[in-house]
Structures are given as structure tokens and as C-alpha cells.
A and B are shown apart, each in its own frame.
Chain A
Amino acid sequence: MTLLERLHAARKANDLSRLSEAIPYARWMNMAPENSTGELLTRMRYHPLLIGNSHLPALHGGTIGALLETAAIFHLLWETDNAALPRIINITVDYLRSGRAVDTLARANFTKLGRRVASVAVEAWQDDRSKPVGAAQLHFLVTPVK
């Protein structure tokens, strides 16, 4: 089954978790989408291998960047009907706080969804949503279904 076919099957079953199961890196990083609260969130479950600074301890900045990017991709896949997989153009990550050794959640929103380019804003937080650990702005090339 191709990723797009998997996506269609996941939509039909309204089962988001099928999205991440198909992506080896998302599985390895313990990242999965969830929508128990009615909004699409992506969770990165804490694991000791995500640590960048053992003394604090703090999550590796790269893992927060990777979560923000993955959340943007899940949002794009779930909220739009694409004829092909979106291709990332760039990402700008702001690191706002050090990430502690707990689960991290991320939520994406479209800044603008155009015919060729989607601009996506993402925020990540841990226990307190009003205190984000990171935020990102991303651009993707998209091919919407006509």
C-alpha cells in the first residue's frame, strides 16, 4: 500500500494512528498523531534516547525540530486532499524553552494554503500549553487534487 492509499484508508476509518505507522522515522522517534480532544495533535513520547544534554536533562534540539516538522506533515496530510505527498521546502525553528524529559505535543495550523505552496505554523509544548518549548514556520510544495 502506498502512503497516499494508507492516508485514504486512515481517513475512511477516522484512525489517525495509521499515518505514523507507515513512516519508519516517526515510529522510531515515538511520534504519533492523536485527536482525542477534537483537534489534531502530534505527540512525541518521552524516551531517554531523545536527550541532548544529560546534565539538565534536556531534549536534543533536533528532536523538537523533528517533532514540529512531523506535526506539520501530519496536519497537511490530514487536512488537505493531495494528489502527491507534500514536499518540504524549508523550516525555521525557534527554540523557546529547554525541553524537559517528558512527552511533547505539537499543533499545526495553516498560515496560508495556496495552490502550489502551503505555509504552516507549528507550536510545541509539554505540560503547559501557554509555555511553548518551540515554534516553527514551514513551507511545503503541494499538489492539491483538482
Chain B
Amino acid sequence: MGDEARPKTVFEAVPGDKLDVFQKWFSDTIPHNKALGLVVTAVRKGGASMRLEWQPHLVGNPETGVLHGGAITAMLDACSGMAVATMLTKAQPFATLDLRIDYVHPATPEQPVLADAECFRLTSNVAFTRAVAHHGDPRDPIASSAGTFMLGTKGKAAVGQHAARIAVTGRGT
């Protein structure tokens, strides 16, 4: 099969400013991402980056000001999910199957957290991801994760319906 026959991924199919489109989907449309203040900072085929500002209500230990692990968990889940979305070739919902997170060292108080995720393999049923959360140097992570996502789960896709439709039909609407 030549390249011509290969279906386009959502990332390839999105017209215009891809970062802008993915920001709309993942920073603005998903209520919990918006509530956390997760901002998409970069997107590529199979990859996603996000930024989370330190905020007082996300603190887990009020004595130190260190962020609660739950906020990092939600960020790594969201960022890994976005990396999966860039790789899809049809409109389909997907859901996290499992996510393992190693908390390598505590986040530094009042510093923003950055996350980089990649979807390194996508099969017809399952997508595999890895991600790191860090303060600027991904080789010195706060947390490191490995995840799997089930594709074609029940219901409608949270985001990416529009782009997936473009990918399938080649038309915008």
C-alpha cells in the first residue's frame, strides 16, 4: 500500500493553525481541562505538550505548597489522550484503559508544570502512550507515565469529531 492510500490522521487533516485548533479542543472544550487551566503549548502527529500554572487551590501539602499528585495525574492523562487524538484516522471516541505514574520527585512550589506526551503505537483497538511532567527539562522529570487507551469506546468522541470527519471525508463539514 502506497502513501496515497494511507488514511490521514486527525493531525494531518486539521486545516489552518493546528495548535489553535487543538487548543480549542483540549484547553477550552473539555470542562475539567479548562477548570485546571491546562493550556496546549505544542502539537504534532503523535505528540502533545501542555502547561499547568501553579495555583493555590491545586496544592496538596499546604505546608510546602507542593501540587497535589491528582493535578499531575489529570494533566498526564489529558496530555496522553491528546497525543492519541492526533493519531486517529476516523471519528471514534476513546478512553484511558490504564495509566501508571511514577512520581520521581515533588513539583517545585509556584513553578508551572510542563508535560510532553507521545503516542508511540496505535493499533485498531489500543493506543500506547508515554509522558513526562517537568519544570523545563524533560530529562529531569517530576513524574513519568505509561498509559494505554481503548479506541472505539461507547458514545461520541469528546473532541476531534470535526477533524476526524475531515480526515474521513476530506471535507470540513
Binding site for B on A (CB under 8 A): 2-3, 22-29, 48-56, 58-63, 65-67, 69-70, 85, 87-95, 98
Number of B residues with CB within 8 Å of any CB on chain A: 44
Choice from B33, B57, B98 contacting A92 with Cβ under 8 Å: B98
User: Which of A2, A53, A67, A91 is in CB contact (< 8 Å) with B101?
Assistant: A91
Check A53/B158 contact, CB under 8 A, given A60-B78, A61-B99, A90-B100.
yes
B95 touches A27 (CB 8 A): no
Within residues 20 to 59 of chain B, which ones have a CB less than 8 A from any CB in chain A? Answer: 29-35, 56-59
Whether, in the assembled complex, B96 has its beta carbon less than 8 Å from a beta carbon of chain A, the answer is yes
Q: Chain A nearest CB: distance from B165 CB in Å?
A: 14
Contacts of B157 in A (CB 8 A): 53, 55
B103 near A65: Cβ-Cβ < 8 Å: no
Cα–Cα, bound, A90→B105 (Å): 11
Contact of A65 among B35, B74, B106 (CB under 8 A): B74
Assess the A60–B102 pair: CB atoms within 8 A. no
Assess the A2–B68 pair: CB atoms within 8 A: no
CA distance A64 to B34 in the complex (A): 17
> Judging by beta carbons under 8 Å apart, are A98 and B57 in contact?
no
B residues 75-96 touching A (CB-CB < 8 Å): 75-78, 81, 93, 95-96
Which B residues have a C-beta under 8 Å from some C-beta of A? 29-35, 56-63, 67-71, 73-78, 81, 93, 95-103, 106, 153-158
Across the interface, do A25 and B95 meet the contact criterion of CB distance under 8 Å? no
Q: How far is the CA of A19 from the CA of B58 in the complex (A)?
A: 16
Interface centre among B33, B76, B101, by most chain A C-beta atoms within 10 angstroms, is: B101
User: Which of B63, B67, B93 is within 8 Å of A2, CB to CB?
Assistant: B63
Residues in chain A near residue B30, CB distance under 8 A: 51-54, 60
Listed A/B pairs (30) with beta-carbon separation below 8 Å: A2-B63, A3-B63, A23-B59, A24-B62, A24-B68, A25-B60, A49-B35, A53-B155, A54-B29, A54-B31, A55-B156, A56-B154, A58-B158, A60-B74, A61-B81, A65-B70, A69-B69, A70-B70, A88-B103, A89-B103, A90-B102, A92-B99, A92-B100, A92-B101, A93-B96, A93-B98, A93-B99, A93-B101, A94-B97, A94-B98
List A contacts of B32 (CB < 8 A). 49-52, 59-60, 62-63
Secondary structure class of chain B's binding surface, majority of residues: mixed
- Chain B positions within 8 Å of A70 at CB level: 68, 70
Closest to B96 in A: A61
Q: Which of A25, A59, A95 contacts B97 (CB 8 A)?
A: A95
How close is B42's CB to chain A, nearest CB, in angstroms? 20
| A60/B77 in contact, CB under 8 A | yes
| Contact B95–A61 (Cβ < 8 Å) | yes
Which of chain B's residues have a CB closer than 8 A to the CB of A50? 31-32, 35
Q: Which A residue's beta carbon lies closest to that of B161?
A: A55
In the complex, what residues of A have CB within 8 A of residue B78's CB? 52, 60, 62
